[in-house]
Chain A
Amino acid sequence: MLIIENFSKTYNNGSKAVDRLSFKINNGELFGFIGHNGAGKTTTIKSIVGILNFEEGEILIDGISIKKNPLKYKQKIAYIPDNPDIYESLTAIQYLNFVADMYGVDKKTRMDNIKIYSNMFEIYESLGDVISGFSHGMKQKIALISAFIHEPDIIVLDEPFVGLDPKASFTLKKLMRDYCNNGHSILFSTHGLEVAEKICDKIAIIKKGRLIKIGTIKEIVGDKTLEDIFMEVFTDD
C-alpha cells in the first residue's frame, strides 16, 4: 500500500509545485493521476519514486518511508518516466539483465519474465540489438519490460502510452489490469481521459499542486464522462 501524507514540494526558486497532497493506493488498485500540464503530476511522481527530494510530508510503501529507508522502499517500486532515456550503448538484453541484477531477481524469474514480457510486446527478437538503434516506441517497450521483470509491489508510470502503437497500447492496458488483479498496484499519469475512465479503479485530479478530486470512477464521474468533469475543473479559472 502506498500512502502519501501532506506531501508538499517547493522548488529552489520558491514556487510551490505541490501543496499538502494526501492520498493512498491500496494493493490491487489501478490508480489514474490526472491534471493539466504543469499541475504537479510529474513532480509528485518523481518524489514518490525517490528522484526528487521533498521537505514536507511523508511517502510510505507498506509502512516503509522513502526518507528513512530509501533502498528498502525502492526495492518495492518501479518507475518509468514519460520519455524514458535508457542506456543507449547497451543491448536491450544487457539493460534488462542490469535492471534484474539491481533488484536481485533470481536467474529463473528474470529469464521467464523477460521472455514473457518481451514476447508480449513483440520485441523478443530484437533483445540482442543495441538500444540506440531502437525507435521511441521500442525504447518505451524495453523500459516497460524493465518495470515488470522484478515484480514490484507498485509500478509508477508517467504517461505510459505515449509513443506506443495501438497494439502495444492494448497489450499494456491488459497487462496493467492483470498485474493489479494479481494484488499489485499501479499509479500512472495520463492525458488520455478515455483510457483512465476505462481501466482505472480510482482517479485523482490535481490542479495547481492541489488535490481537487479523488475516488472511484463511479464516485467522480457519476452520470457524466471524465472529460466533462475534467473540463468543469479546469475551466473554473
Chain B
Amino acid sequence: MINKALILFKLNVINSLKLNDKKRKTFTPLFFAVFGVILFIAFFQYSFMFANYLKTYNLTKLIFPAFSIMGIIMMLMMSTYKARGALFDFKDSDLLFSMPIPASSILIQKIMNMMLFNYIICFFTLIPTSIVYSNLEHVNNLYWIFVSLIFVFLPFIPTLIAAIFGYIIGYISSRSKRKSFIETISAFIIFLLFLLASTQTNMLISYLLKNAKDVDSLVKHVFYPLYWIQSALCYNDWLSMILFVVVNLISFLTFVFILNNLFANINKRMKEQFASKNYEMTGLKHHNKIKAMFNKEFTLYSQSSIYMLNTCFGAISMMIFSISSFFYNTSMIANTILKYTGITLSDYQVLVIICAIMAPLSCTTPASISMESKSLWICRSMPISEMKIFLSKMMVDLFVILPINILAMLLASVTFKLSVIETLILFALILIIGVSMTQFGILLNIKYPKLQFVSETEAVKGSLSASLAVYIPITISFVLGLIYMILESVISFQLYLLILIGGFTIIAILLYVGLRTYGIKKFKELYC
C-alpha cells in the first residue's frame, strides 16, 4: 500500500515539476534553491526582529505561538482550495481508480501531495524562529529534538481541517448546476474567514504584550496545541510534547481512517454532474469577436475557484487594507513592523508599497494561456488574431481586477487624507503598473506555459510564469525602494513617483511591442 503510494507520489512530482525535461531538470532545483534561500533569510530576519521586540517585554516565548499560528493560517489558506483539486474530484481519478491500486494508496499519495507544501510552509515559519530563539535564550539538545517533532506534526491538523473544508465545498457544489460558482463563493468565504483570523492574531499579540500576565491562558484560548508547543520548546516540558504529538497523530489517523473508507465513494459521487436536460432556445445574443472572447475568458475565470481565488488575493487584500484603514492606523502598524530597520514611512509611502506588492498578486494573465490547456486548439483554429486573443485575456485583468485595486486605493486615499495631486499620482501609478503587469504576465505565460496539468492549481500556482510574475515585480519594487532611500535627500517622493510612472509607461510600450512580435511568434509555436 505504502509502496504504491510512494510510486504515485514520485510520478506526480516528476510530472508536475516536469523533471524529465532536460532544461528544467537543472533549472527547477536551482530556482527552488535560490528562492528557498531568499525566503529563509527573509523569515529569519523577520523572526529575529520580532523576537528582539518580544525580548524587551521578556516575552520571547511568544514567538512560537505567533509564528506557529502564522504557519497554520498560511497552511489552511493554501490547502483549503488545494484540497478540492488534490484530494477530491482530481483529474486523474478515473485512471487511478481503474487500476489495481488500493484506494488507501491513492489517498496517501494525495495527502502527501497536500502535505508537501504544508511542510515547506512549516519549514520557513518554524525553523528560522527556532534558530533565533536558540540564540536569544538558553536551549539544550532536547530543544532540537522537540523542534524536529513539532516540525513533523504541526502540518497534521491544518491539513485535516483543509481537507474537511475541501470536502464540504466539493460535496455541496457537486449537487448543483452552478458547481464552479458555489466552489468559488465558498472558497472566498473561507479565505475571508482565514484573513479575518490572521488580523485577529495581530490584535491578539498586541493585547498579549499589554497583558503579559494572561499570556499562557490566552495562548491556550486561541488554539490549545500552541500552548503545548510553547511549553515544550521554552520549558522542555515532556508532557506538553507528548500531548502535542498524540493529539495530532490521533486526529490525523482518525481522519485518514474515516476518509479511507469513504474516499473512493466521495470521489465517484463528485464525478456525478447535475444535468437538467430541459433546454429551450428562446434567443441568442450576438457579440463581436473581442466581446465574445472576453465573455468566454471571464466565464472560464469566474468558473474556476482556484484561478479566481489565487488572482484575487492581492485585490481583496488591498480592499481589506483600505477598509481596515478606516478603523486602524495602518501606517503605524507598518512602521511598528519596520521599527528595527530604522525606516519610517508616511501614509502615502505605505500606500505605494502596498500597491507595489499587491499588484503582482492580483494579475490574472500569467496563467491565462496555461488555462487554455488542451482547449488551445479552439483559439488557434479560429479566425481571430493573436493580439485579440491576448487582449481578451488582458481585459479580464484590466476590467475586473484593476478596478478593484483602484477603488481600494481611492478609499485609502480618502482615509489618509491625500491631496488631489497625490491621489492622481497614485491612480496613474496603479493604472500603469496594472497595464505593464498584465502584458508582462501574458508574455511570461507564452514563454513558460503549463498546458498539461492534473489540477488547475499547477497552472495557476505551480507554473514558472506564475512564480516569476510575482517575484520579478516584487524584486523590482524592492530595488526601486532602495534606490529611493539613496536618493531621498535629493528628490521628493512625488517626483520620484512621477519618474517611475514615466519609466513604467516606457516599459508598457516595450511590452506591447514584445507581445506584437515575440509574443505572437511564440504563441504560434504553442501546441498541446
Please tell me if the beta carbons of A133 and B288 are within 8 angstroms of each other in the complex: no
**Distance between Cα atoms of A126 and B283 in the complex (Å):** 16
Chain A residues numbered 112-144 whose CB sits less than 8 Å from any CB in chain B: 114-115, 124-130, 132-133
**Distance between Cα atoms of A78 and B384 in the complex (Å):** 13
Please tell me if the beta carbons of A49 and B180 are within 8 angstroms of each other in the complex: no
Question: Range of interface residues on chain A?
Answer: 35 or more
A97 vs chain B, min Cβ distance (A): 5
CB-defined contacts of B377 to chain A, threshold 8 Å: 51, 79, 81, 84-85
- The residue from A52, A78, A87, A103 contacting B375, defined by CB atoms under 8 A apart: A87
Q: A114-B281, A133-B274 are in contact. Are A94 and B378 (CB under 8 A)?
A: no
Closest residue to B277 on the A side, CB-wise? A125
Among listed A69-77, A170-178, A183-191, A215-223, interface-contacting one:
A69-77
Please tell me if the beta carbons of A89 and B180 are within 8 angstroms of each other in the complex: yes
Please tell me if the beta carbons of A133 and B275 are within 8 angstroms of each other in the complex: yes
Q: A72-B383, A102-B289 are in contact. Are A125 and B378 (CB under 8 A)?
A: no
**Distance between Cα atoms of A110 and B279 in the complex (Å):** 16
CB-defined contacts of B277 to chain A, threshold 8 Å: 125-126, 129
Q: A85-B373, A89-B304, A93-B281 are in contact. Are A98 and B296 (CB under 8 A)?
A: yes
A120 vs chain B, min Cβ distance (A): 15
Q: Mark B469-492, 1 if CB is under 8 A from A, else 0.
A: 000000000000000000000000
Chain A residues numbered 6-27 whose CB sits less than 8 Å from any CB in chain B: none
Please tell me if the beta carbons of A102 and B384 are within 8 angstroms of each other in the complex: yes
Please tell me if the beta carbons of B292 and A98 are within 8 angstroms of each other in the complex: yes
B525 contacts A by Cβ under 8 Å: yes
Chain A residues numbered 43-64 whose CB sits less than 8 Å from any CB in chain B: 49-53
Please tell me if the beta carbons of B382 and A90 are within 8 angstroms of each other in the complex: no
B26 contacts A by Cβ under 8 Å: no
Chain A residues numbered 200-228 whose CB sits less than 8 Å from any CB in chain B: none
A157 contacts B by Cβ under 8 Å: no
Closest residue to B300 on the A side, CB-wise? A89
CB-defined contacts of B283 to chain A, threshold 8 Å: 111
A106 contacts B by Cβ under 8 Å: yes
B224 contacts A by Cβ under 8 Å: no
Q: A51-B377, A93-B281 are in contact. Are A74 and B276 (CB under 8 A)?
A: no
B273 contacts A by Cβ under 8 Å: yes
**Distance between Cα atoms of A106 and B291 in the complex (Å):** 15
- The residue from B275, B291, B381 contacting A50, defined by CB atoms under 8 A apart: B381
Please tell me if the beta carbons of B381 and A49 are within 8 angstroms of each other in the complex: yes
Q: A111-B284, A129-B177 are in contact. Are A74 and B378 (CB under 8 A)?
A: no
- The residue from B278, B299, B380 contacting A89, defined by CB atoms under 8 A apart: B299
Please tell me if the beta carbons of A125 and B279 are within 8 angstroms of each other in the complex: yes
B138 contacts A by Cβ under 8 Å: no
B512 vs chain A, min Cβ distance (A): 20
Please tell me if the beta carbons of B278 and A125 are within 8 angstroms of each other in the complex: yes
A230 vs chain B, min Cβ distance (A): 28
**Distance between Cα atoms of A132 and B181 in the complex (Å):** 14
A165 contacts B by Cβ under 8 Å: no
Q: Mark B368-407, 1 if CB is under 8 A from A, else 0.
A: 0000011101101111110000000000000000000000
B22 contacts A by Cβ under 8 Å: no
Please tell me if the beta carbons of B303 and A74 are within 8 angstroms of each other in the complex: no
Chain B residues numbered 296-327 whose CB sits less than 8 Å from any CB in chain A: 296, 299-300, 303-304
A194 vs chain B, min Cβ distance (A): 28
A100 contacts B by Cβ under 8 Å: yes
CB-defined contacts of B274 to chain A, threshold 8 Å: 129-130, 133
B23 contacts A by Cβ under 8 Å: no
Please tell me if the beta carbons of B289 and A127 are within 8 angstroms of each other in the complex: no
Please tell me if the beta carbons of B382 and A130 are within 8 angstroms of each other in the complex: no
**Most A CB within 10 A of own CB, among B180, B285, B286, B373:** B286
CB-defined contacts of A127 to chain B, threshold 8 Å: 279, 281
**Distance between Cα atoms of A139 and B285 in the complex (Å):** 22
A167 contacts B by Cβ under 8 Å: no
Please tell me if the beta carbons of B383 and A101 are within 8 angstroms of each other in the complex: no
A235 vs chain B, min Cβ distance (A): 32
Please tell me if the beta carbons of B279 and A128 are within 8 angstroms of each other in the complex: yes
A107 contacts B by Cβ under 8 Å: yes
- The residue from A53, A125, A129 contacting B525, defined by CB atoms under 8 A apart: A53
**Distance between Cα atoms of A49 and B291 in the complex (Å):** 24
B303 vs chain A, min Cβ distance (A): 4
A86 contacts B by Cβ under 8 Å: yes
B287 contacts A by Cβ under 8 Å: yes
- The residue from A53, A71, A89, A133 contacting B303, defined by CB atoms under 8 A apart: A89
**Distance between Cα atoms of A85 and B375 in the complex (Å):** 5
Please tell me if the beta carbons of A86 and B375 are within 8 angstroms of each other in the complex: yes
**Distance between Cα atoms of A100 and B275 in the complex (Å):** 24
B524 contacts A by Cβ under 8 Å: yes
B527 contacts A by Cβ under 8 Å: yes
B179 contacts A by Cβ under 8 Å: yes
A95 vs chain B, min Cβ distance (A): 8
Please tell me if the beta carbons of A102 and B299 are within 8 angstroms of each other in the complex: no
**Most A CB within 10 A of own CB, among B274, B276, B285, B377:** B377
B113 contacts A by Cβ under 8 Å: no
Please tell me if the beta carbons of A53 and B273 are within 8 angstroms of each other in the complex: no
B505 contacts A by Cβ under 8 Å: no
**Distance between Cα atoms of A74 and B299 in the complex (Å):** 25
**Distance between Cα atoms of A30 and B71 in the complex (Å):** 63
Closest residue to A128 on the B side, CB-wise? B279
**Distance between Cα atoms of A106 and B288 in the complex (Å):** 11
B130 contacts A by Cβ under 8 Å: no
CB-defined contacts of A87 to chain B, threshold 8 Å: 296, 299-300, 375, 378
12 A-B pairs with CB atoms under 8 Å apart are A77-B381, A89-B303, A93-B281, A101-B288, A102-B289, A104-B289, A127-B281, A128-B276, A129-B273, A129-B274, A129-B277, A130-B274
Could you tell me which A residues sit within 8 Å of B by CB distance?
Answer: 49-53, 70-75, 77-79, 81, 84-87, 89-90, 93-94, 97-104, 106-107, 110-111, 114-115, 124-130, 132-133
The 7 closest A-B pairs by CB, nearest first: A133-B273, A101-B292, A128-B279, A89-B303, A85-B374, A74-B383, A75-B383
Besides A97-B292, A125-B277, 5 new A-B residue pairs in contact (Cβ under 8 A), listed by A number: A74-B382, A87-B299, A87-B300, A93-B281, A94-B296
